[in-house]
């Protein structure tokens, strides 16, 4: 059974998310900011950052919204009992250019390197979904999101944010898992491309 992992890239503004209403979908972080513009809601919600690295105004509303929606929650253990626990591994604070950055997943323990999207892909795989389609994973140079009101968590240079995310995608691409990129445009070329609309014909 297939699943969709929905990122937070600016391409979501041009993606018909209504198509996902009957699909298994994993969404991350501040995805709730797009809900006024679509009836789609994810079946799973993933927030892999450490709570201590964020201000509550950056995460409080998103967690409350998804608890109320009844999503299956996957939260960093520091958020305190909100669903399935994600423990940060030794790679959580690593950057792409450090010698101890990961080169492979280390399942069954989730690798928390890179981004919540990459944690969501691992969860989808562990739950047996295949193929896994990426949507809204733009990975553009300016790391834009779908909303001007999108608040970042731990502040870091765009260079590190982009390259860390790319490195985590490259790790995923070596996993042997069937991951395909259905994002409209963007710069992520670590996976085979598929046209989003074609998946629903």
- Entry field: residues in the chain: 201
Looking at residue 55, its pLDDT comes to 64
Looking at residue 147, its pLDDT comes to 58
Q: Name residue 25's beta-bridge partners.
A: 4
Q: Are 164 and 35 in contact (CB under 8 A)?
A: no
Residues of the chain predicted below pLDDT 70? 51-58, 80-82, 141-144, 146-160
- Residue 145: φ, ψ to 5°: -110, 175
Looking at residue 152, its pLDDT comes to 57
Residue 156 makes CB contacts below 8 A (sequence gap 6+) with none
Q: Which structural domains are found in the chain, ordered by start?
A: 3-200 (3.90.1480)
Q: What does R_g of the chain's alpha carbons equal in angstroms?
A: 15
The 3-class SS string of the chain reads CCEEEECCEHHHHHCCHHHHCCCCEEEECCHHHHHHHCCCCCCEEEECCCHHHCCHHHHHHHHHHHHHHCCEEEEEHHHCCCCEEECCCCCCCCCCCCCCCCCCCCCCCCCCCCCHHHHHHHHHHHCCCCCEEEECCCCCCCCCECCCCCCCCCCCCHHHHHHHHHHHHHHHHCCCCCEEECCCCCCCCCCCECCHHHHHC
Total Cβ atoms within 10 A of residue 81: 8
Looking at residue 58, its pLDDT comes to 66
Q: Is the peptide bond before 108 cis (omega within 30 degrees of 0)?
A: yes
Q: Has this prediction a pTM greater than 0.75?
A: yes
């Amino acid at each position: 059974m297939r699943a969709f992992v929905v990122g937070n890239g600016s391409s979501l503004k041009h993606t018909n998310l209504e198509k996902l209403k009957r699909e298994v979908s994993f969404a991350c972080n501040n995805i709730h900011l797009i809900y006024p513009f679509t009836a789609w809601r994810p079946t799973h919600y993933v927030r892999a950052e450490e709570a201590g690295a964020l201000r509550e105004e950056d995460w409080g509303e998103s967690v409350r919204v998804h608890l109320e929606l009844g999503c299956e929650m996957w939260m960093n253990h520091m958020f305190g009992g909100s669903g399935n626990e994600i423990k940060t591994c030794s790679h959580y604070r690593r950057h792409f250019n450090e010698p101890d950055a990961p080169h492979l997943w280390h399942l069954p323990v989730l690798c928390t390197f890179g981004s919540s999207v990459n944690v969501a892909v691992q969860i989808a795989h562990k739950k047996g979904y295949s193929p896994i389609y990426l949507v809204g994973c733009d990975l553009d140079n300016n790391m834009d999101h779908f909303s001007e009101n999108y608040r970042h968590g731990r502040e870091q240079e765009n260079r590190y944010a982009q390259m860390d995310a790319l490195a985590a995608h490259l790790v995923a691409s070596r996993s042997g898992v069937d991951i395909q990129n259905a994002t409209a445009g963007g710069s992520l070329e670590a996976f085979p491309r598929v046209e989003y609309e074609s998946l629903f014909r």
